[in-house]
Amino acid sequence: MFRTLLIALRLATLWLALGFAALAQDAPLQSVLQDNRAGFEKPSRKTVDGVIAALLDAQLPNAPAFLTRWREKEVWQRKEDKLFFYARDNGDKTYTLIDVDTGAEDGPYDKKALKQLKPNSGVRGVIATALVVFQLTDPDPAVREAGLTAIERGPEASHLAALRGSTEGEDVPALKARKQRLERLLTITYDKDSAARVAAIESFAGDLGVDARAALNPLLTTTRRASAERPADINVAAVLAPGIDLPRAEAYALLVEAGLAPPQITAAERKAALIANIENGAIAGTPIHTLNTDAARDATYAKLAAAGLVAEPVDTAFIDAALADNVFFDAYDEPDTAVTTAAAATLEAIEMRVGLNQMADLALDGLSLASIYFLAAIGLAITFGVMGVINMAHGEFIMMGAYTGYVIQQVIPDYTVSIIVAIPVAFAVTFAAGVAMERLVIRWLYNRPLETLLATFGISIALQQLAKNIFGTQARPLTSPGWLDGALVINDVVSISYIRIAIFVLSLIFLVVLLFILNRTRLGLEVRAVTQNPRMAASMGINPDRINMLTFGLGSGIAGIAGVAIGLYAKVTSELGADYIVQSFMTVVVGGVGNIWGTLFGATMIGFLQKGIEWLNPSNTLAAQTYMIIFIIIFIQFRPKGIIALKGRAAGD
């Protein structure tokens, strides 16, 4: 690949030198481009350095502008004569070409007659790095900022001087701070002066930035080595004792690698050696058919070795002696002891703080997950917790809310307005669905809870399939408004996305509103009365039917709002509700039925627990979910009534 490119490059150069000699005077940039045509047509990270160097060597004033536009995929090639142009899209699949030197317009050309140059992101990175020198002193702060970003992504030794030269004259304070920080980072890596590096390293003590660690860690990379004597001229990080710091097999492998010991015979080599020595159905006098155990093979191999036919096997005693005779150590790749010592000390301080902050971040994640579980379960806390109705279709109410949000977003294109509209509409839709379900199905089954479970399950599968028939199985986008994009960054380690904060706030609002409704309003009083003793409540003039209907509607409506929030943060599919239903039930049961606070505690416990298990086993999220459920099952065995158990008559049975 690389070689073909080179040949093509050379051929092109030769041909151009003959044919386009005149071009060099009229169109200097075009002629440089044509000289390196293959490199521009099919740019690769491996060849682009040479191409850019050739362009910059020509010292053309419009070269940086060309590089910028090349990076932005704005350069096109006309197929007929292979010349390069900028292009303007006319919107009807034709393009007007603009000369790279003169700016003269030409065209329009059909898209098929042109070829767009598409440098990949690696090449774009290299271009950005090359442009840095021009950008750091640019009058436009945005360009200077782009230059700094390019340095962060691809720092080079040459940037250090450019940074130092431009920091003094920088007038935007934010950019100046960034330049100074970058200057210190580059000093660590590229400066020749040991003292300056140590000073720069020490200036990062306690810094949480990933970039600081990214500059320091490479200084501390080590190579594991073995030698007969401890070498004097090497920056040793640690001496390792075989069998304690270093497994014996690994230590011996190091010796073999260093040429200090003969290699061990592997099972495969032993087998190959045996096969190579088969004579008349036997090896060294042992019949082949007996060689179906490792012991027999070892014995036969030893016979072969004794006969001098194969290499002597390495035995344990020999390995012991070899390990005792040699030293094993980790050597720093960085030869300067002062630098590595400073870096190790600084990093240790940083890691300590990073660890603490990671804990804080994990706690935030746990809190966020808890609020999501709480949001999904809070409607259930009312229908199941307060009324005692098992509603397996609760998850489908969440899904209905999410789809309502999606439909409204199709009608109202403005994301902010659509979300504001979607929340009450979702409440109304699921409230109505809940009331309908209560009237039509559930009220006939108040005394048969197990059958409520099954009937609502029937509704659940019907609703899920209905959603599939209407919206398809593909996930639908529910896009959050721009002001919820991004994350609240507390420092480089601790951050949380705004959407999660919004969900957290929403669940707090729900908590307060529900507590208010249940404890401070007439409706709440009636709900509690009907829950505790429906016939006594009825004789006090409360209409239990109406209250049951409203309570169920309220729980369902809240599920709808939760659906909008969950859809915003994840995805909208027909299975969205089913993903949360089991967890939601467990949240309510663990927390303690009949109590909003219980649900809160349940959600908190489950959220934190799951994050905690994930932290212990970061490579397998599924395991975290499994162990969490097992924990909950065991928890319920010991506290069957949940964290907050109601006492007395209100508890019912």
Partner 1 sequence: MMKTLLSAAAASALIAGAAQAEIKVGILHSLSGTMAISETTLKDTMLLLIEEQNKKGGLLGEEIVPVVVDPASDWPLFAEKARELLTVHDVDVIFGNWTSVSRKSVLPVIEELNGLLFYPVQYEGEESSKNVFYTGAAPNQQAIPATDYFLEELEVEKFALLGTDYVYPRTTNNILESYLKDKGIAAEDIFVNYTPFGHSDWSKIVADVVALGADGKKVGVISTINGDANIGFYKELAAAGVSADDIPVVAFSVGEEELSGLDTSNLVGHLAAWNYFQSAESDANDEFIAAWKAKMGEERVTNDPMEAHYIGFNMWVQAVEAAGTTDVDAVRTAMYGQTFPNLTGGTAEMLVNHHLAKPVLIGEILEDGQFDIISQTTEVPGDAWTDFLPESAVLVSDWKDLGCGMYNTDTKTCVQLKSNY
Partner 2 sequence: MERSFFARNPSALIFIACLAGFTLLITVLAEGFGADVISTSMVKTLGKTLCLCLIAIAMDLVWGYCGILSLGHFAFFGLGGYMLGMWLMFERTKEIVVSSMANAPLPPTAQEIRDGIGTQIFGVVGGSEIPGIWLFADSLFAQLALVVLVPGLLALVFGWLAFRSRVTGVYLSILTQAMTLALALYLFQNDSGLRGNNGLSGLQNLPGADAIPQSTMSIWFLWASAAALALGYLLAAWIVGGKFGSVIRGIRDDEARVRFLGYNVEGYKLFIFTVTAVIAAIAGALYYPQAGIINPAEIAPIASIYLAVWVAIGGRGRIYGAVIGAAFVSLVSTWFTGGQAPDIPLGFYTIKWVDWWLILLGLSFVAVTLFAPKGIGGLFDLIEGRIAPNRHGADLGPDMSALREKEASE
Which C-beta is closer to partner 2: that of 58 or that of 629? 629
Residue 280 DSSP SS3: coil
Find, among 361, 353, 358, the residue nearest to 212 by Cα: 353
**Residue 469, contacted partner among partner 1, partner 2, none, CB below 5-8 A by kind:** partner 2
Give the count of alpha carbons within 13 A of 524, CB side only. Answer: 12
Residue with tokens 């592997």, as numbered in its chain: 266
21, 223, 485, 520: which one binds partner 1 (CB under 8 A): 485
Among 473, 519, 521, 543, binds partner 1 (CB under 8 A): 473
500 binds partner 1 (CB under 8 A): yes
Count of beta carbons in the 10 Å neighbourhood of residue 34: 23
394 binds partner 1 (CB under 8 A): no
- Residue 248 in the binding site for partner 1 (CB under 8 A): no
Partner in contact with 176, chosen from partner 1, partner 2, none, beta carbon below 5 to 8 Å by kind: none
Question: Which span sits near partner 1 by CB under 8 A: 300-308, 425-433, 563-571, 640-648?
Answer: 563-571
CA dist 493 and 502 (Å) reads 20
Nearer to partner 1, 447 or 474 (CB): 474
- The residue (of 366 and 385) whose beta carbon lies closer to partner 1 is 366
By the rule CB under 8 A, 213 interacts with partner 1: yes
| Smallest gap from residue 190 Cβ to partner 1 (A) | 13
Measured from the CB atom, is 59 or 637 closer to partner 2? Answer: 637
Residue 108: is the preceding peptide bond cis (ω within 30°)? yes
If the CB atoms of residues 239 and 278 are measured against partner 2, the closer one turns out to be: 278
Residues that bind partner 2 (CB under 8 A): 271, 274-275, 278, 288-289, 291-294, 297, 390, 392, 441, 444-445, 447-451, 453-455, 457-466, 468-469, 578, 582, 585-586, 589, 620, 622-623, 625-626, 629-630, 632-634, 636-638, 640
Q: Which of residues 27-56 bind partner 1 (CB under 8 A)?
A: 44-46
Positions 572 through 601 that interact with partner 1 (CB under 8 A): 573, 575, 579
Cβ closest to partner 2, residue 59 vs residue 447 = 447
Report how far residue 564's alpha carbon sits from residue 398's, in angstroms, rounded to the nearest whole number.
Answer: 8
Asked whether the beta carbons of 504 and 370 are under 8 A apart, the reply is no
Looking up tokens 């320091």, which residue turns up? 216
Report if residue 153 touches partner 1, rule: CB under 8 A: yes
Complete DSSP assignment for 519-570: HHSHHHHHHHHHHH-HHHHHHTT--HHHHHHHHHHHHHHHHHHHHHHHHHHS
Nearest to 559 by CA among 428, 416, 380, 436: 380
On the 0-12 / 13-18 / 19+ scale of CB atoms within 10 A, 633 is exposed
129 binding partner 1? (CB under 8 A): no
**Which CB sits closer to partner 1, 20 or 615?**
615
Binding-site partner at residue 585 among partner 2, partner 1, none, CB < 5 to 8 Å by type: partner 2
Of 316 and 474, which has the nearer Cβ to partner 1? 474
Q: Tell me if 545 contacts partner 1 by CB under 8 A.
A: no
Q: Could you please report the per-residue DSSP string of 492-520?
A: SS-EEEHHHHHHHHHHHHHHHHHHHHHHH
Closest CA to 358 of 71, 615, 114: 615
Binding partner selected for residue 640 from partner 2, partner 1, none, CB under the kind-specific 5 to 8 Å limit: partner 2
User: Among partner 2, partner 1, none, what binds residue 17 when CB lies within 5 to 8 Å by partner kind?
Assistant: none
- Residue 352 touches which of partner 2, partner 1, none (CB < 5 to 8 A by kind)? none
Q: How far apart are CA 148 and CA 175, in angstroms?
A: 8
**Is residue 278 within the footprint of partner 1 (CB under 8 A)?**
no
Binding mask 351-390 for partner 1 (x = CB under 8 A): -------x--xx--x--xx--x------------------
The SS3 of residue 133 is helix
Is the separation of the CB atoms in 431 and 553 below 8 Å? Answer: yes
121 binds partner 1 (CB under 8 A): yes
DSSP state of 387: T
Q: Is 569 in the site for partner 1 (CB under 8 A)?
A: yes
Residue 85 CB contacts under 8 Å (≥ 6 apart), including other chains: 75, 76, 77, 78, 97, 98, 99, 100, 106
Footprint on residues 510-529 left by partner 1 (CB under 8 A)? none
Report CA torsion sign: 23, 29, 35, 37.
negative
Nearest 5°: the CA angle 198, 204, 205 is 95
Taking residue 471's Cβ as centre, other Cβ atoms within 10 Å add up to 17
Which of positions 403-422 make contact with partner 1 (CB under 8 A)?
none
- Pick one of partner 1, partner 2, none as the site partner of residue 645 (Cβ within 5 to 8 A by kind): none
Give the one entry of partner 2, partner 1, none that residue 156 binds, where binding means its C-beta sits below a cut-off of 5 to 8 angstroms depending on kind: none
Q: Does 71 bind partner 1 (CB under 8 A)?
A: no
How far is residue 84's CA from residue 101's CA, in Å, rounded to a whole number?
10
Amino acid, single-letter form, for residue 317: A
Task: Give the number of residues in contact with partner 1, rule: CB under 8 A.
Answer: 62
Q: Which does 616 bind (CB under 5 to 8 A by kind): partner 2, partner 1, none?
A: none
Q: How far is the CB of 46 from partner 1 (least distance, A)?
A: 7
Using rule CB under 8 A, residue 94 touches partner 1: no
Measured in degrees and rounded to the nearest 5, phi and psi for residue 80 equal -65, -40
* Sequence-distant contacts of 445-454: CB under 8 A, at least 24 apart: 446/389, 446/548, 449/388, 449/389, 449/390, 452/389, 452/390, 452/391, 453/390, 453/392
The residue (of 3 and 647) whose beta carbon lies closer to partner 1 is 3
Cα Rg of the chain, angstroms: 36
Interaction between residue 217 and partner 1 (CB under 8 A): yes
Type of residue numbered 593: V
Beta bridge partners of 282: 279, 287
Q: How far is the CB of 620 from partner 1 (least distance, A)?
A: 6
> Which residue, 240 or 400, is less far from partner 2 as judged by CB?
400
Quick check: 336 and 198 in contact, CB under 8 A?
no
**Which CB sits closer to partner 1, 521 or 626?**
626
Q: What is the DSSP string of 285-327?
A: TEEGGG--SHHHHHHHHHHHHHTTSSPPPPPHHHHHHHHHHSE
Residues that bind partner 1 (CB under 8 A): 44-46, 73, 118-125, 153, 210, 213-218, 221, 358, 361-362, 365, 368-369, 372, 468, 472-477, 479, 485-487, 489, 493, 495-500, 569-571, 573, 575, 579, 611, 614-615, 618-622, 625
